[in-house]
Structure 1
Amino acid sequence: MNEIRKVVSTLWYDKDNYHTLRNVFPNAEFVYVDFYDKEKLEQEAKDADVALVLGDVPDCLLGENSLKWIACDHAGLNGSARPEVFAKNIFVTGAAGRSAPVLAEHCIYFMLQSCYHTKELLTAQEKGQWGVDGSDKWRGLYGRKVAILGMGNNGRMLADRLQALGMEIYAYDKYPVKGYDYISHKYCGLNGDTLDPILAECDFIVLTLALTDETYHMFDTEAFRKMKSNAVLINMARGGIVDTAALTQALEDGAIGGAGLDVIEEEPFPSDHPLWRMPNVYITPHMTPQVPNRAGRSIEIIRENARRFVAGEPMLNLLKPTDTFQSGNGNSGWARLTQSNLSKEEIAKIPLEKFLGKRGWTDPSEWNYLD
């Protein structure tokens, strides 16, 4: 049985959620450190058992300390899937699943945008134009074929919703897809299954899998050649899974029908890139709307993992050596901010609440007490 005597946290939570989190560890010392104060974080971690960190594992926690578990308040852990992190030989977990319901909605949003040709309809509306050329050939989602690549939290949540919409689902995962009897097409990478039959059959290809060395640029020129010419690619996973240059060329050549992108290799995405102006491409800036109290959902994952840690049971969302990612930059968006080594003076110039949300407290004593 493991013991948790000290917890150090850099999480950016409001007062109520921090109070709840503090009470997940009633028998431990609980220390808050600003995420940008890497020197203090390194010092406090020397005799800590658990670190709760904003974003990926910071380098300052990879030195000499007593940490046994690092919980990243972050869904995709590709930025932490580095050899030097695995060399620590400790538990590293993430927050995958906390936003799964709205990520599924976001996928469907992209799919409906494509089906209903939203850009064309809005242009017609602005003109006061009744009717759009070619609309008699548009098709909805019902009865069409969709591939979900990655049957983790997000993929499973999406499958339930697409099944209710009457779509024919093709599911692919590295590991066998268990349950989900309504899915008649299941593929498993470890069993030698390839994406070829999926790419040849499906009208929508939705990416909800992790970015690893295996999946980096999984969608390249060759993959786009295998897709149907009217198929739509939706990326809700990580930008590095798709070769941006190959995608751009495939769209320009008419090799595929369109794309919905919430993540792209380079974020922020350059404003002069041609993908922005393609009529069959819909882009959102890595910004799925939040579930009610997303921090609260993260805390429940931490709570369950704390129980499992003490009991010696398998941890949720555990980072594994097979998740290793060295093929590109694992950081994107605000993750670069949390990993930066900016001074306190430089940080003071950044409107943190704009990027990280309203915190509403200044002193940890406002929440750091036990019920």
Structure 2
Amino acid sequence: MPKINKVVTTLWYNKEDMRALRNVFPDADFRYVDFYDKDRLTEEVKDADVAIVLGDVDNCLLGENCLKWIHCDHAGLNGSARPEVFARGIPVTGAAGRSAPVLAEHCIYFMLQSCYHTKELLTAQAAGHWGVEGSNSWRGLYGRTAGIIGMGNNGRMLSTRLKALGMNVMGFDKSPIQGADELDVKLCGNDGDTIDPILKEADFVILTLALTDETYHMMNYGTFCKMKPDAFLVNMARGGIVCTEDLLKALNKGKLGGAGLDVLEEEPLPADHPLWQHPNVYITPHCTPQVPHRAGRSIEIIRENARRFEADEPLLNLLKPADALTTATKSGWARLTNAGLTKEQVARLDLDKFLGKRDWTDPSEWM
């Protein structure tokens, strides 16, 4: 059976969580390295079995070393799905699913914004007006149809909640959907199904799938024209799945009723972009509230994968060739972690802004 003898990490957790992570590997030599110290990271992984990193797989992890498993502590693995990573042959895993419950809530938040015409109600409230014209025709979620495209962790969390609200729920995934008995309709791309039935029937079309070369601009003007003219789109997946220009065109031409967008192709969205002012569009700046103790959920994924690794079982959230994205670009903290910054440059940055607050300066405080 494989044995984990040495672990190297660059994670940015607080003391309690770093201690918990360290205790996942009680018998291993456990080393912490600052994410920006690529020279030391290169040296430390030479004889390490596992690297648990903050960003994507850095090239310094692909040299001459003994690594047998790399874990990237975030959900999307597009930035790691590069030819040189696959060529190296080291299994790479991610943290998909750790925020699924609140991502499902965020979808419902957008859907309720649409049902309750929040912008109109807030405008009326600010003006002291009692009642909004046309409100007697508004409809809630109950009895309506939701179509979920992507039945992974997020899609499954959402489908159970929508069914509990009395909705008809359709689900599409590339692979066969196992379980998920709450779904009224199951569609499988590998069996020849398409998303067309969802586009035709759903009042709400919700995106919870991965961004890949296959799904890039999957939602375009032609797709929107297949939807109900009053349908509402929710994108909680990745911005590149939706062609922004086509979305705006569909909204302006009455091919789509509205949209709830937490992710966009360009982030941040420019202040003068017309989507900000569109009456039927609700935007949140890629900011889903965290689940209680998100780091703890990440650690449980790592713990289970450590068990699977030593038991020689398949790992959870494993990077696969389909995760590759030709148009992939890094933004925010992901770009920061792989930017090759010097210690001096890092000292001038407010890392807490990007990575959250940390209550220690030396690993001896939690080792």
Which bracket does the TM-score occupy, shorter chain normalised? over 0.9
The equivalent of 2:108 in structure 1 is: 108
Residue number in structure 2 paired with 1:267: 267
DSSP 3-state at the match of 2:200: helix
Q: Residue 115 of structure 1 contacts residue 139 of structure 1 at CA under 8 Å; is this kept in 2?
A: yes
What do the CA deviations read for 1:92-142 (whole angstroms, capped 9, x no partner)? 101011111101000000000111111111111000011111111111100
Provide the residue aligned with 1:165 in structure 2.
Answer: 165
Farther-moved stretch of structure 1 (262-271 vs 5-14): 262-271
TM normalised by structure 2 equals: 0.98
Q: Which runs of 4+ in 1 moved over 6 A?
A: none
**Matched-pair contact (CA < 8 Å) for 1:268–1:333:** no
Q: How does 1:55-74 map to 2 (within 5 A)?
A: 55-74=55-74
Conservation of the 8 A alpha-carbon contact between 1:148 and 1:172:
yes
Deviation of 1:355 (Å): 2.0
Task: Quote the residue 1:332 is aligned against.
Answer: 331
Distance 1:302 1:218 in 2: 32
Counterparts in 2 of 1:172-211, with a 5 A limit? 172-211=172-211
Task: Quote how far apart the aligned CAs of 1:78 are.
Answer: 1.4
State whether structure 2 residue 43 is matched by structure 1 residue 37: no
Name 1:84's counterpart in structure 2.
84
- 1:356 aligned partner, one-letter code: L
Deviations 1:62-118 (Å, cap 9, x if unpaired)? 222211111111011112122221111111101011111101000000000111111
**Residues 53 and 70, structure 2, Cα contact 8 Å, conserved in 1:** yes
Residue 248 of structure 1 aligns to which amino acid in structure 2?
Answer: L
CA distance in 2 between partners of 1:80 and 1:269 (Å): 25
What is the identity, as a one-letter code, of the residue corresponding to 2:251?
Answer: L
- Name the structure 2 match of 1:222: 222
In 1, Cα distance between equivalents of 2:269 and 2:311? 44
Quote the residue 1:343 is aligned against.
Answer: 342
Separation in 1, partners of 2:162, 2:170: 11
Pairs within 5 Å for 1:147-158: 147-158=147-158
Distance (whole Å) between structure 1 residues aligned to residue 54 and residue 272 of structure 2: 31
Q: Which residue of 1 aligns with 2:46?
A: 46
Query: 2:178 aligns to what SS in structure 1?
Result: coil
Alignment match, 1:366: 365
Instruction: State the alpha-carbon separation in 1 of the partners of residues 147 and 9 from structure 2.
Output: 39
Output the amino acid matched with 1:276. W
Offset of 1:219 from its aligned partner? 0.6
Aligned to 2:16: 16
Does structure 2 conserve the Cα–Cα contact (< 8 Å) formed by 1:68 and 1:91? yes
What residue identity is the alignment partner of 1:80? S
Post-superposition CA distance 1:171-223 (Å, at most 9, x none): 00001111122312110000010111110110111111111111111111111
- Whether the aligned pair in 1 keeps the contact of 2:332 and 2:354 (CA below 8 Å) is no
In structure 1, what is the Cα distance between the partners aligned to 2:216 and 2:323?
11
> Can you list the C-alpha shifts for 1:284-309, whole angstroms capped at 9, x where unaligned?
11111011110011000000000000
Asked whether the 8 Å contact 1:266–1:332 carries over to 2, the reply is no
For residue 334 of structure 1, report the CA deviation from its aligned partner.
2.1
Residue aligning to 1:134: 134
Return the letter of the residue paired with 1:307. R
CA distance in 2: counterparts of 1:226 and 1:240, whole angstroms: 20
What is residue 288 of structure 1 aligned with on the other side?
Answer: 288
Q: One-letter code of the match for 2:67? A: L
- Unaligned 5+ residue runs, structure 2? none
CA distance in 2, matches of 1:288, 1:59: 30
TM-score (normalised: structure 1): 0.97
Cα pair 1:51 1:69 within 8 Å, conserved: yes
| Aligned-partner Cα distance in 2 for 1:63–1:245 | 41
Q: 1:100 to 1:94 in 2, by over 3 A?
A: same
- Cα distance in structure 2, aligned partners of 1:341 and 1:251: 41
Deviation at 1:330, TM superposition (A): 4.0
% identical aligned pairs: 70
Give the deviation of 1:148 after TM superposition.
0.6
Rounded Cα–Cα distance in structure 2 between residues aligned with 1:309 and 1:109: 38
- How far is 1:43 from its partner? 1.8
Is the Cα–Cα contact under 8 Å of residues 71 and 93 in structure 1 kept in the other structure? yes
- Give distance in 1, aligned partners of 2:33 and 2:283: 35
- Give, in whole Å, the separation in 2 of the partners of 1:37 and 1:283: 36
Q: How big is each residue's C-alpha offset from its partner over 1:319-344, in whole Å with a ceiling of 9 and x where there is no partner?
A: 11222222x12423321111212222
Q: Residue type of the partner of 2:183?
A: I
Q: Can you give the 5+ residue segments of structure 1 that lack an aligned partner in the other structure?
A: none
Distance across 2 between alignment mates of 1:257 and 1:333: 31
SS at match of 1:87: helix
State the one-letter code of the partner of 2:231.
Answer: A
Tell me, yes or no, if the aligned pair for 2:24 and 2:303 is still in contact at 8 Å. Answer: yes
Aligned partners of 1:103 and 1:236 also within 8 Å: yes
